[in-house]
Chains A and B, each alone.
Chain A
Amino acid sequence: MPLLSILIAIPFLGALIVALLPKKRPELVLPVGLGVSIAPLAVAVWLTAEFAVGDPSFQFGELFVISDVFGVSWRLGVDGISLFMVGLTALLFPIAIAASRSVTDRAKTYMALMLILEGAVFGVFLALDLLVFFAFFEIVLIPMYLLIRIWGSGNRVYASIKFVLFTAVGSAFLLAGIIALGILAGDTAGSLSAFDLPNVLAVELSETTQLWLFLAFGIAFAIKIPLFPFHTWLPDAHTEAPTAGSVILAGVLLKLGTYGLLRFNLTLFPDAAVDLAPYIAALGVVGIVYGAAAAIVQPDIKRLVAYSSVSHMGFIVLGTFAFTTQALQGSVFTMISHGLTTGALFLLIGMIYDRTHTRAIADYGGLAKVMPVYAGIFLFSAFASAGLPGLSGFIGEFTVLIGSYMTLPVLAIVAGSGVILAAIYLLWAYERMFMGPVNSKIEGLKDLGFRELAIMIPLIVLILGLGVYPKPVMERIEPSVNVILDRIESATEFDVPEYGREPAPTIEIDHSDDGHSDEEGDH
C-alpha cells in the first residue's frame, strides 16, 4: 500500500471535500476539517510504531518515475529525521484546526487552505526528489500567505507580503541551485537532468561547485529557519497570523528550513558544509543571543514568543553544523520539542486573545489569580520553552550544547548563555502578565474550558513524556543522523569525535591532554 502517498493525498482530498460542503451548513466545516486532519495522525502513529529502529535507510519507500528524460520521479521515503517531522505535522494540524473555532469569516476557505497546507508540508518532508521537494516547498507558501493575509490581525497586509517576498527570494536561489545540480547529475545519470536523490548523491562535485550550490540551497533554508540576519519577517508574520497560523508557522514551517539543511546541504555538499560550518554555526549562536535579547524588550507577548523562536532555531542550527552525533540528534530533537512548546505558547496566547483582544503585556497583570489553570499551563509551557530539565526542551538543547562543545567549544559556551536569557524573558513576561495585583481590565475572565483543555493536554503530555523518556525518539533518530555523519566523514577530511557513538571509551593513562579539541578523543 502506498502509505506515504496516501498520507499526502488525504489532506488534499479533504480540502476538496471541505470546499464541496454545502454553503448553508457552516457548522459542518470544523468537524469535517478536524476529522480529515486526524486521519494523517493515525497514519503517522502507525508509521512510528512500524518504523524499524536501527535501520538507517529510507523506509516505506515508493517510486514512480514521472519523466525519464528530465529524471524526475515521485520518490517518497521516511527516515528517522523525517519520521518525526511528519509526526509533528500530523499532530499540530488537528490541534491548530481545533483551536480555530473563532474563525467564522469564510470558514470553508480557511479550512481548505489549512488542509492544503498540511498536505504540502507532508510532501516536503517525504519527497526524495529535489524537484518534487521544491514544488511542495513552494505550495506551502501560498496557503500560508492567504491565511495571514485574510485572517490575520492589524498589520496583516505588510506581514503577509513580507513573508512571501523574503521566502520567495530564497526560493529563487533554491530553484537555480536545484536546476544546476539536476543538470550536473544528468551528466552522470545519462539523461538530460536528474533530480532523484540517489542520482544526485552520486554526482562528484568540485569544491567550488559545492560552495556555490551550498549557498544557493543554504540561503533559501536560512530564510525559512530563519537564521540571523534573515529573521525579520518572522516576528511580523507570527504576530499578525491567526492563532492556528502561528502554531503551524512556528511548529512546522520553520522546520522546513532546518530539515532542508540536514537533508540536502549536509549530505549533498559535505566539503562546503565542513568549510562553512563555523560561520553558519556562529550565525546560529548570534541568533540565540540576539533573539533572546530582543525578546526581553518586546511589549507584545506574541512577538516575544516569535523572537524566542529565533533563539531556539539558533540552537538547531548550531547543533546541525557541529557535526557530532550528539549535536545532530539534539538538533532534530529540538525541532520536535520547539514545535510542541512554541505551539503550546501560541495556542495559549490565542486563547487569551480571544477573550481580551489584546496582546500587549502591559494590559495584563495578576492573571494567575483570575485564571489559575490557564496560568499553570502557561507557566509549564514557558518553562518547557526555557529548557527546564524533565521537559522536552531540555533534552534537545542540552544534547546540542554538549555535542557542539566537542567541535565548536567557544560557540557552545556562548550558546549556553541562552539558558539565562530564556529565563529572563519568559519569567519577566510571566511576572508582568500573571503576577502582581489584578489589572481591572481582566477581572472576571473565564478560566479555560473543557474544549481548550482538551487542546492543550496532548501537548502537555508529550512535552513531559519526551522530557522524561526521550529514548524512543532518540533511538529512531540516531541511525539516520549517523548516516549523514558517515557521509561527511568519508567525503571530507573531517573527523567526527567519537564520544557517544561507541560504548564508554577506554582511557589511556598517558593521555592527559584536555581532550576537547577537534581531533582529540579516543579512537
Chain B
Amino acid sequence: MTDFLWLVVLLPLVGAAVNLIFGKRIGEPFAGWLGFVVVASSFVIAAIPAYDVIAGTAEPVTVHLFSWIPVLGVEAEILWDPLSVLLTLIVTGVGSLIHLYSIGYMHGDERFPRFFAYLNLFIASMLILVLAANYAVMFVGWELVGLSSYLLISFWFTKPEAAAAGKKAFVVNRIGDWGFLIAMMLIFAAFGTFDFHTIFATAEGVLSVGMATAITLLLFVAAAGKSAQIPLYVWLPDAMEGPTPVSALIHAATMVTAGVFMMARSAVLFEMAPVSGAVVATVGVLTALLAAVIAVAQTDIKRVLAYSTISQLGYMVLAVGVGAYSAGVFHLTTHAFFKALLFLGAGSVIHAMANEQSMLKMGGLRKVLPVTFATMGVAWLAISGIFPFSGFWSKDEILAATFAKGGAWLLLYGLGLLVAILTAFYMTRLFVLTFLGGRRWDEGVHPHESPASMTIPLVILAVFSFGFGFVNTPMRLGFEHFLEPAFHGVPHPDALDDSVIWTLAIVALVSAVVGIALAWRRYNRDELPAENTGWWSSAMAGFHVDEWYGRLFVLPGKRGAELAGQMDAKGIDGVAHGIARGVREAGTALQPVQSGKVRGYAGLLAAAGVVLIVAIVVIGGGF
C-alpha cells in the first residue's frame, strides 16, 4: 500500500498549482473545496498504509522516487516509519480541518483561491519535511515551509505590519537555516551521505563526541528558528498578522513542530552528545518560562496563544533535551490538537466580534457562541493539564522524564512546574475574559455563532484534545512502543517507580489547579484589575526584546551594509578613479614635449641617436 505514498505529497502540490494558475476562474467557494479535497485525500491515502504501521504489522520502509543530486548521493525518497506516519496523519488530518474551517473564515476575501493555493503549498512542504529520508530532502521541506509561512503571514500584504511580519519570519528562520546548512556540511564531511538510515546506523563508529555535539548544537540552532526558541522566537508573535487559520496551521499542525520533529528524528545523534542535551533542555525550559510570563500580560487573544505556543514548544524541546523523545513527540501531537482548536476557536470569536482581537472588549460570549465556548473549554482544560484531558498526560510525561534525571535537572523540573502553573493561569485568564463575566463589547458589534464549516472542525478537534492522551498513559505506554522503531535503539529514559510517577502526576495536577484558581479569582468579576503599569506593560511588550534586537543586530547590520555600499564608491572606485586621474595628469605634464614642430622632433631624434651610440660605445665597450 505504500506504492501510492508519492501521491500524498503530490496531491497538495497539484492543488496549489491549480489554484495558483486557474484560481480566479474556479472562484469561491470551489477553490476552497478543491484545497480541502486534495489534503483530505492525502490523509486517506496516507491513512491506509498507516493502519498497518499502527497495528504493528508493517516494518518501516523507504520508497525510492528518483535520484535528486547524484553527486551528493541525495535520493528523493520517502521514509515511512512510525514517526513520519504520525506526523503525516497530524499534518494532513489537522490540516484538512483547517482547510475546511478556512472556507468559512475566508469567505468574501478577494484573493480567496490564492489563500488555498498557499495553504496547500504549506501542507505539501510540511509533508516533504516529515516524509524525507535524508537531511537534504528534509531541508527542502524545511525551507519550503519557511516560504509558505512567508506567503501566508504576509497574505494581507497591503498592511505594512503583515508585510514586515512575513519578512521577519522568513529572515529569522533563515538564521536558523544557516545552522542547518553548517550541520549538513559537517554531516556530509563525516558520513559522505545525508541518508538517515546510514547516518544513524553508523554514527556510533564515525562521530566523535565533539563532532556529535557540534552537529547537534547546530541542528538545535535550526530547530530554534523553526520551533521558536530563545533567541530566535521573535518571529512567532508577529506571525499572527496572517489570517487566523494560518496561525492555527503554523502554530499547531505544521511549521513550529518541524524543529521538534527534526530533533526527534536525529535522536541518535542527540543521544551521543550529552552536552547538547543539557543545552537544549535548558534553553527549552527558559523559553517556556519567558513565553509563559509574557503570555500572562497579553490582551490580544491571538498574542496570548502565540506566546503560549512558544511556551509549549519549550516543553517539547525540554523533552528532547532530557532524551524523552517520544514524550516530546507525544506532547507535539496533543498540542497540535488543542492548539489548533484554540486558534480556530479564537478565530471564531474574532470572526464573531467583527475582527476585534482585544480580550478587554470581549466577555460574556458564552451564551452567544455556545459551540465555540464548549470546544474552547475543552482546549483550555487540555492545555492547562487537567486530568484526564490530553495535555495532562503529555505534559506530565515530560516533567516526569526531567525529574527522573535527578541532580541539577531537578532545577529544570522545578521551572517546568512553574511554567505549568503559569500556563493554567494565563489560559484561564483568556477563557474567563473572553467567555465569562459581563459584556464589554464595542457598540455596533453583534456576535453570532460561526457557520457549520467552521464549527465542525472545532468539534472534531475537541474530541481529540480530550481523548488523545489515553494512547499513552503510565499504565499503558502504547504511543512509546509505537514510536520505538523510529529512534534506532535509543534507550528509554530511566524508568521511575509507580509511586513516584503517581506522586509527580498529582503534583502536576495540583499546580494546574492552583494556576486556574488564582486566575479565576482575579478575573472572574465585573471590575477587571488594572494591568497597564510597570511590570505588566513591560511584559505586555515582550520585555522589549524586539527593540533590543533592533539596537543590537539590525542597526549595526544596516550600518555595515551602508559602509559596504560606500566603500565601493569611495574606496575601490576611488582607487580606480585615482589611477585614471594619474594617467590624465601625467599626460598633461608631458604635453609641452609635443610641440608640433617637426624640427624639434627631429632634433630630439638625433640627440637620442647620439646618446644611444655613445651609450653603446662607452657602456657596452664598443660594437
Contact = CB atoms under 8 A, between A and B. Distances in A.
Interface of A: 162, 165-166, 229, 231-232, 235, 290, 293-294, 296-298, 325-326, 329-330, 366, 368-369, 376, 383, 388-390, 394-395, 398-399, 401-403, 405-406, 409, 412-413, 416-417, 419-420, 423-424, 427-428, 431, 434-438, 469-471, 474-475, 478, 497-500, 504-505, 507-516, 520-522
A498 to B, nearest CB: 8
A505 B157 contact: no
Given A297-B564, A398-B136, A399-B72, 5 more contacts: A166-B576, A229-B572, A293-B565, A297-B561, A512-B208
A290 B564 contact: yes
B154 interface: yes
Contact of A294 (B181, B182, B564, B580): B564
B300 to A, nearest CB: 22
B355 interface: no
A507 B185 CA distance: 18
B144 A388 contact: yes
Interface string B156-184: 01111011100100110011011001101
B239 to A, nearest CB: 15
Given A366-B158, A405-B189, A431-B167, A388 B71 contact: no
A515 B202 CA distance: 14
Given A507-B206, A516-B190, A428 B167 contact: yes
Contacts of B573: 232
26 contacts: A297-B564, A298-B565, A325-B71, A326-B72, A388-B147, A389-B144, A398-B72, A402-B184, A416-B178, A416-B185, A423-B171, A431-B163, A431-B164, A435-B162, A436-B158, A436-B159, A437-B158, A438-B158, A471-B66, A471-B67, A471-B68, A499-B192, A507-B206, A514-B189, A514-B210, A515-B189
Contact of A435 (B142, B157, B188, B560): B157
B163 A435 contact: yes
B175 to A, nearest CB: 6
Contacts of A405: 185-186, 188-189
A399 B140 contact: no
Contacts of B564: 290, 293-294, 297
Nearest to A437: B158
Contacts of B580: 165
Contacts of B184: 402
B19 interface: no
A419 B66 contact: no
B163 A436 contact: yes
B69 A232 contact: no
B139 A294 contact: no
Sort A-B residue pairs by CB-CB distance and give the 4 closest, nearest first: A435-B163, A405-B185, A516-B189, A499-B192
B599 interface: no
A389 B68 contact: no
A435 B71 contact: no
A436 B157 contact: yes
Interface in B543-581: 558, 560-562, 564-565, 568, 572-573, 576, 580
Given A296-B561, A419-B174, A499 B154 contact: no
A513 B186 CA distance: 12
Nearest to A329: B71
Contacts of B193: 504
Contacts of A522: 192
A504 B73 contact: yes
Contacts of A438: 158
Given A419-B178, A475-B70, A296 B558 contact: yes
Contacts of A504: 73, 192-193, 198
A505 B193 CA distance: 9
Contacts of A293: 560-561, 564-565
A420 B208 contact: no
A401 B178 CA distance: 11
B397 to A, nearest CB: 34
A292 to B, nearest CB: 9
A512 B572 contact: no
B207 interface: yes
A394 B142 CA distance: 13
A365 to B, nearest CB: 10
Contacts of A413: 182, 185
User: Interface residues of B: mostly helix, strand, loop or mixed?
Assistant: helix
A353 to B, nearest CB: 22
B211 interface: yes
A179 B158 CA distance: 61
B105 interface: no
B380 interface: no
Contacts of A165: 580
B407 interface: no
Nearest to B66: A469
B205 interface: yes
A511 B206 contact: yes
Contacts of B206: 507, 511-512, 515
Contacts of A431: 154, 163-164, 167
B271 interface: no
Given A232-B572, A474-B70, A416 B157 contact: no
Nearest to B208: A512
B181 A416 contact: yes
Given A419-B178, A504-B198, A369 B211 contact: no
A412 B183 CA distance: 12
Contacts of A394: 140, 143
A416 B182 contact: yes
A194 to B, nearest CB: 35
B413 interface: no
Contacts of A507: 191, 202, 205-206
Contact of A388 (B143, B163, B565): B143
A424 to B, nearest CB: 6
Contact of A406 (B66, B158, B189): B189
Contacts of A427: 150, 167, 170-171
Contacts of A419: 174, 177-178, 181
A511 B205 contact: yes
B263 to A, nearest CB: 20
A80 to B, nearest CB: 12
A463 B326 CA distance: 40
B155 to A, nearest CB: 11
A389 B140 contact: yes
B185 A474 contact: no
Nearest to B181: A416
A420 B181 CA distance: 11
Contact of B69 (A229, A235, A470): A470
B140 A508 contact: no
A166 B580 CA distance: 11
B174 A470 contact: no
A235 B568 contact: yes
A409 B68 contact: no
Contacts of A229: 572
Nearest to A508: B205
A376 B118 CA distance: 12
A296 B211 CA distance: 35
Given A419-B177, A471-B67, A401 B202 contact: no
A522 B561 CA distance: 42
Nearest to B162: A435
B163 to A, nearest CB: 4
Contacts of A516: 186, 189-190
Most interface-central of B143, B164, B192 (chain A CB within 10 A): B192
B587 to A, nearest CB: 15
Most interface-central of B66, B140, B181, B184 (chain A CB within 10 A): B181
B322 to A, nearest CB: 26
Contacts of B136: 398
Contacts of A298: 565
Most interface-central of A165, A366, A431 (chain B CB within 10 A): A431
A509 B170 contact: no
Contacts of B177: 419-420
Interface string B421-446: 00000000000000000000000000
